[in-house]
Structure 1
Amino acid sequence: MSGQGAQQKKGSSAYRVDLDGLRGYAIALVVLFHVFVGRVSGGVDVFLLLSGYFFLGGQLRYALRPNPNLNPWWPLWRTMRRLVPALALVVVSVVLLVLALTPELMSDELARQVTASMLYYQNWELIAQNADYAAASQDTSPLQHLWSMSVQGQFYIFGILMGTLIAFVVSKLKADPKITRRVAIGVLAVITITSFAWSARFGFVGTGENYYSTFSRAWELSLGALLAFVPAERFLPQATAWFTALLGVAMITITGIVIPTSLAFPGPLTLLPLTGAALVVLSGNNNAVSTVLSSAPMTWLGKIAYSLYLWHWPLLIIVTSLGGYDTPPAWLGALVILVSLALAHITHMLVEDPLRQHRRRPLATDTPVADARSSLRTWPGMFRAIGGMVTVALFGVSLAVQPFWNNRVDSADKPLDPTTYPGAMALAGADVPQVEPKPDPNLIAGMFPVIGETGCMVFKPHEADYMPPEDCVYGDLEAETTIVMVGGSHIEPFVIPLEILGREHHFKVVSFVRQECPLVVGGPENPSNQDIVSDTCAEWGEHALARIVDLDPDMIVSTSTRPAGRAGDGVASADYVPAAYTDLWNHLAELDIPFVGLRDNPWMFTIDGNPMDPNLCIVAGYSEAECSMDASMAYAPEDPASFFLDGTNRQWEIDTADWYCIDGTCPPQIGNVYIYRDQNHISNAYAATLTPLLWEHLEPIFTELGLIDDTPAAESPEAPGEAPAIEDSAPADA
């Protein structure tokens, strides 16, 4: 073998310091693109591949050594010591910074994300919250980036279990290590191919769920593990290694420039940065590019990469929200990077490095517990013990955030005194004392109507034939009169006034409410339906209508207008009546089922047409005037549904615009009661105050239909309008 070949083999088989530098470069790209470009760079994908290379490759190599320790606790403990201290520190710090500086960012969703981040299922929590990976803005979660740490942690557990199994097979069952190695490589290859095929099932652009899914991401880590098994003698030719490594770095660098959407990851286009990373790995560490990657600045960046990744995103989101920017200006982004680098260095020096396990992984003959006890007699050992206790405390604090927040929401979600908080009755002349409006605008987003709490809300993931349980009935459960409430989530809050009225006037309310799914007829084949609802929703409408017809209802109540855009996604525009709605009304007329339409409430937008949550606007310190909207942005001059629902065919329209907007302005609160739960759903508290106004319109309709029952109402054990907060239900879009 030539001297050059021997040198190459020796260098390439040693610890790959250059890959530490590549990891630092990948995270640097992540930070730069997050801050200055506003989209993903592919750096996280490279980071995941290198995690698979170092961690999973290391687990499997250890398992094939003589006399391995078969206790999976030790690699798990080693991993926890490396990852959890910095994560706990950053998560608790972020919560404190949010509460102190940007309380508008604190929400039910963020509280759940804190728990999910610490328990390493943040990616699945974001899927449940329908949180597409977005550029930094005032509306983005400061913990959104931790999805990748969760994917990494989940795969680490898999790697530990796989390594333990292989170690058992080799050491106890005396399997041939060479054959076992080949089997392990085969398993990794199957995982890589299967996961890649799954991630690519949508083509070049996928979905938010695909972006976060562990199953879609697994191939990136398993591919890295496969690279760890490539022997040095099979690396790319050393004569051109500088070129192949440089090409690899270039491919990684241009990824964020040529791939404009995050939803392309981790699909086929992800091969661009990961092929680049593979080229760097397979070029060895004996070339000019690896020399640069092994330099002190690059390896320093690699050492602090984990902490840098943890810190940069929440700082970016917090200062963006604090400054009221739609996107952070360049000077602010540069400041965030400098502060993030400083914090990452400090975190690495004082938290990561001191608390991680520096000794090698114990063999079966080692005594790690006794050695650890002995180390407590030394100053370094005592400091590590103290650091461990602090980490445990921070971990406990982080897990207490969600129950603490839920308790605050529960405490705030109480019936309001109508003399102090008249809400909509202020429109009818009720006195409005000078008090702070309620409920707490920082907590109101976690207060959901009773339909979701009782399992009667049908959510998007449900199948098209999934119907609400038969006990989803409100009001007077013994009444003969049946009112069916149907539609998307914008009709959902009206269960509160309808339940109160049902008790008083002896009718029961049956709910058929599905997220993002107004009731439509004709199924997916109806062209009118294709304009506003999904195929699943259109099919669900057919099943729901069949159930409704079987009930022989005395009346159906639903919303009758909406802004432009598909269900669940309104845009700033005057309201209108979709053709799918008129198709339904015509069908109901043929069935001789009375219908009452409620003009939709406003979807709140800024003057620039960007979605605005008026509650968060108030929490951020803006005035009520600044958190209001011109009524013309939500409403046409005349109610567009009144033309269709004029009493003919026993179909009526209730124009609700004056319930939400006064003198051409839609404010965040009326009568000391905040109107909205979020950007486009009304709150439980305000819905309860609408009860008299709703009955004012319904009473003549009930009279005309012969549905009035003046029998005195029985005493109810539950306070009118009380709707307990829902802890586990996701917010439902219209």
Structure 2
Amino acid sequence: MTSPQAPRSTTPTGSSAYRVDLDGLRGYAIALVVIFHVFVGRVSGGVDVFLFLSGYFFLGGQLRYAMRPFPSLNPWWPFWRTVRRLVPALVVVLGATLIGILALTPELLNEELARQFTASLLYFQNWELTAQNAAYAAASDTTSPLQHLWSMSVQGQFYIFGICFATLIAWLVSTAKVSKANAQRWAVAVLGIITVASFAYASRFGFEGTPANYYSTFSRAWELSLGALLAFVPRDWYLPQRGSWVAALTGVVMITATGIIIPTSLAFPGPLALLPITGAALVILAGNANPVSTMLASKPMTWLGGIAYSLYLWHWPLLIVVTASGGFETPPPAIGVAVILASLALAHVTHALVEQPLRQHRKRPLSFDTPVVDARAALRTPAGAGRAVGGAIVAVLFACGLAVQPVWDARINNADKPLDPAKYPGATALIDAEVPKAKPQPNPHLIGGIYPPIGEQECMIFLPAPPDEMPRPDCTFGDLDAETTVVMVGGSHIEPFGIPLDILGKEHGFKVVPFVRQECPLVIGGVDRFEIVSEVCAEWGERVYSTIVEMQPDLVISTSTRPGGRAGAAGSAADTVPDAYANLWANFADAGIPFLGLRDNPWFFDPFGNPMDPNLCIVAGGTEESCSMPAAAAYPGPDPAAGYLDGMQNLFSIDTAHWYCPGETCPPQIGNVYVYRDQNHISNAYARSLTQLLWSELVKVFDQLGVAYRP
């Protein structure tokens, strides 16, 4: 986190001097960020102070330049100056983070993180995290090492606005001949409107908001615009020098107390964010001629302020990579101390060797200056040539960072291909297919990005959709001309079965119509319905049920059990039959619609009860044994749905436990095929290998129902 520095005044003290103490305040704020991230596990308010100071320094400086005589109206120069200040250190840290992940914690690299590399470089990481529904989490072995860069994206977006806004003001003053006083009034008015509107928007949830509100540029804008407004406060409006140290000390205490008093990150950037922001404002308005400001202007504090940007960049990915590679759920204190010391050292080196040499040191050009000619001339000097080489290296690193996502996507597409059943028999190994010696596939590092065709073809309804949204009419699989209709319904756990059902439908003459919604198993009534699904999901289920009754399909297929907890977030592995499921089956029976229930696949948990992705366990170096789960944990007894789905009233069940847990454990791979896509969904490859086993059970149901099919 940083802001371009104004030229230093030759006046050593007094309210008109360059605010060296604010450099120290910036350093103090980043110290709080690092300490709270490492040792407390929550936010400190330091980021809010950074955004506030960025508005004060950056936009204040831009607007002051706009009102100077002969300002340049070319927005490229402030943009280029900002790029040179911010991007070199960012690409160095991102490159080092990628190398560290590949070498030490490859399990951290996934589709979401690959997208975050692009988003961080192009300054929309805050919106990417929102799209990924990523709450701002404490440091752990599963937290994104790029999570902290949301704030850099907010800053970058506001900087672009600030450059455009200041260029407009410069045009009004220099070309439209608007007086400086009127231009300043208009600037203050616009910033005031932004501040009030953004603060109201950020506060719409009250004292505790949402992750999306935490990341939103619109919610954060008031912190920056308020800082910019403070830059317009005349110095004679500052607090009287007598007693100013009390105000400054109060401000520092308010900033310090924020992380202690406010326990949740979701309080920001709402009303409670006024605590650290007001504290920072008090330090500014107290001036710099008081003992507190003198302390903040000391060499240790200004050194910390100088490296603050690089320190912010380094500390979080270093903390996450070390935590994950060490196998810690949360960083131990000794690890935290080591991370802080290493971050300080890396930040100092980065500031000295990357930030300082590559930043723009010359003053911003005026309208009559010749910056291009001057830059060409500078290239002929050793220092200029060195900067050019450094810039070329930064450009290469930037391009490499942007390549992470397309390379990852290409690897996933290459991995998403049918496997040779002779070499990778998968589930057919359970019915005596030979299993040759081969490395299991698909690549467990990539398998999490390989999704079933129903979702890939946008035939699955996702979380944000309204309750009346249904699949498109063309979302039909199997034999599209067949008269026999099989409907598959439920949440994402039934989705992979679209693969074998599509194959079987084409081969045996039935069509498959999916009604699948994310985190939405089909439920009708039941006392525990809202303990399982949301109100939107429940309403969607009622609509789907009515549609199915109108269709009168030959068979409905869904999962018949689930673990405890809400859809999408199981609390334990053991499977049960919710009352809402049983109620649905009774309704199907009354409507004369046959139903086939598949016992759900296991949800993986480690011995301590924590969710575990068996693929990431393998990628992290675990053995097949250590990455397995006891079968008794997932299936503590016989199929609990069998008593409801016993063949009477055309209600059938398949106990699939042996498909996933053929012995006393549920292994990560069967027949050289990795079984799971993640912690609780089966992979496309394993679902495809289940085709023969599914048909051997499905044909019995068809025969009992008298349903027509091709043998």
Q: TM-score, normalised by structure 2?
A: 0.96
Equivalent position of 2:684 in the other structure:
684
**Offset from partner CA, 1:551-605 (integer Å, 9 cap, x none):** 3322221112111111111112411122222232233223222221111111111
Match of 1:221 among 224, 249, 257: 224
**Offset from partner CA, 1:607-627 (integer Å, 9 cap, x none):** 001111111111111111111
Residue pair 2:557, 2:598 contacting (<8 A) in 1 also = yes
Equivalent position of 2:132 in the other structure:
129
Equivalent position of 2:516 in the other structure:
513
**Offset from partner CA, 1:410-466 (integer Å, 9 cap, x none):** 112221111221111111122222221111111111111111211112211222222
- Do structure 1's residue 140 and structure 2's residue 143 form an aligned pair? yes
Which structure 2 residues correspond to residues 198-237 of structure 1 after superposition, within 5 A? 198-237=201-240
Q: Distance in 2 between matches of 1:547 and 1:240?
A: 74
Q: Secondary structure at the match of 1:708?
A: coil
Equivalent position of 2:175 in the other structure:
172
Gaps of 5+ in 1: 1-6, 712-734
Which structure 2 residues correspond to residues 652-671 of structure 1 after superposition, within 5 A? 652-671=652-671
Match of 2:330 among 287, 311, 327: 327
Match of 1:69 among 72, 77, 87: 72
Q: Distance in 2 between matches of 1:653 and 1:196?
A: 55
Q: Distance in 2 between matches of 1:154 and 1:463?
A: 31
Q: Percent identity?
A: 67
Which structure 2 residues correspond to residues 720-731 of structure 1 after superposition, within 5 A? none
Q: Distance in 1 between matches of 2:38 and 2:383?
A: 38
Equivalent position of 1:367 in the other structure:
370
Which structure 2 residues correspond to residues 261-660 of structure 1 after superposition, within 5 A? 261-521=264-524, 528-660=528-660
Structure 1 position 66, deviation (Å): 2.3
Change beyond 3 A, Cα 1:699–1:299: same
Q: Distance in 2 between matches of 1:68 and 1:546?
A: 68
Q: Distance in 2 between matches of 1:196 and 1:546?
A: 45
Gaps of 5+ in 2: 1-9
Match of 1:57 among 44, 57, 60: 60
Q: Distance in 2 between matches of 1:178 and 1:601?
A: 70
Equivalent position of 2:6 in the other structure:
none
Deviates more, 1:593-602 or 1:438-447: 593-602
Q: Distance in 2 between matches of 1:375 and 1:291?
A: 38
Aligned length, in residue pairs? 702
Equivalent position of 1:724 in the other structure:
none
Aligned letter for 2:189? G
Q: Distance in 1 between matches of 2:234 and 2:153?
A: 30
Q: Distance in 2 between matches of 1:403 and 1:421?
A: 28
Change beyond 3 A, Cα 1:327–1:591: same
Residue pair 1:52, 1:224 contacting (<8 A) in 2 also = yes
Residue pair 2:484, 2:708 contacting (<8 A) in 1 also = no
Equivalent position of 1:35 in the other structure:
38
Aligned letter for 2:222? W
Structure 1 position 53, deviation (Å): 1.1
Aligned letter for 1:98? I
**Offset from partner CA, 1:147-197 (integer Å, 9 cap, x none):** 111111111111111111111122221222212212221221221222122
Residue pair 1:9, 1:233 contacting (<8 A) in 2 also = no
Q: Distance in 1 between matches of 2:212 and 2:527?
A: 28
- Do structure 1's residue 696 and structure 2's residue 699 form an aligned pair? no
Residue pair 2:573, 2:605 contacting (<8 A) in 1 also = no
**Offset from partner CA, 1:345-388 (integer Å, 9 cap, x none):** 11111111111111111111111111111111111111111111
**Offset from partner CA, 1:54-81 (integer Å, 9 cap, x none):** 1112112222222211111111111111
Q: Distance in 2 between matches of 1:118 and 1:335?
A: 28
Structure 1 position 90, deviation (Å): 0.9
Equivalent position of 1:151 in the other structure:
154
Residue pair 1:42, 1:252 contacting (<8 A) in 2 also = yes
Residue pair 1:660, 1:666 contacting (<8 A) in 2 also = yes
Aligned letter for 1:258? I
Aligned letter for 2:49? V
Deviates more, 1:670-679 or 1:570-579: 570-579
Change beyond 3 A, Cα 1:96–1:556: same
Residue pair 1:8, 1:284 contacting (<8 A) in 2 also = no
Q: Distance in 2 between matches of 1:316 and 1:206?
A: 27
Structure 1 position 535, deviation (Å): 2.1
Q: Distance in 2 between matches of 1:527 and 1:178?
A: 68
Equivalent position of 2:5 in the other structure:
none
Q: Secondary structure at the match of 1:27?
A: helix
Change beyond 3 A, Cα 1:13–1:598: farther
Equivalent position of 1:710 in the other structure:
710
- Do structure 1's residue 20 and structure 2's residue 40 form an aligned pair? no
Deviates more, 1:590-599 or 1:346-355: 590-599
Aligned letter for 2:460? M
Q: Distance in 1 between matches of 2:201 and 2:636?
A: 46
Q: Secondary structure at the match of 2:569?
A: coil
Q: Secondary structure at the match of 1:590?
A: helix
Q: Distance in 2 between matches of 1:623 and 1:389?
A: 43
Residue pair 2:563, 2:576 contacting (<8 A) in 1 also = yes
Residue pair 2:573, 2:603 contacting (<8 A) in 1 also = no
Equivalent position of 1:104 in the other structure:
107
Q: Secondary structure at the match of 2:678?
A: coil
**Offset from partner CA, 1:395-416 (integer Å, 9 cap, x none):** 1111111111111111122211
Q: Secondary structure at the match of 1:572?
A: strand
Q: Secondary structure at the match of 2:112?
A: helix
Aligned letter for 1:52? G
Q: Distance in 2 between matches of 1:708 and 1:349?
A: 77
> What is the root-mean-square deviation in Å for CA atoms of aligned residues?
1.7
**Offset from partner CA, 1:522-546 (integer Å, 9 cap, x none):** 6xxx763321212222222233334
Residue pair 1:105, 1:141 contacting (<8 A) in 2 also = yes
Deviates more, 1:512-521 or 1:131-140: 512-521
Structure 1 position 671, deviation (Å): 1.1
Q: Distance in 1 between matches of 2:225 and 2:589?
A: 59
Residue pair 1:505, 1:708 contacting (<8 A) in 2 also = no
**Offset from partner CA, 1:230-268 (integer Å, 9 cap, x none):** 111112232221111111111111211222222222122
Match of 2:254 among 251, 258, 271: 251
Residue pair 2:573, 2:604 contacting (<8 A) in 1 also = no
Match of 1:192 among 168, 171, 195: 195
Change beyond 3 A, Cα 1:527–1:52: farther
Q: Distance in 2 between matches of 1:208 and 1:650?
A: 46
Residue pair 2:11, 2:17 contacting (<8 A) in 1 also = no
Q: Distance in 2 between matches of 1:621 and 1:570?
A: 26
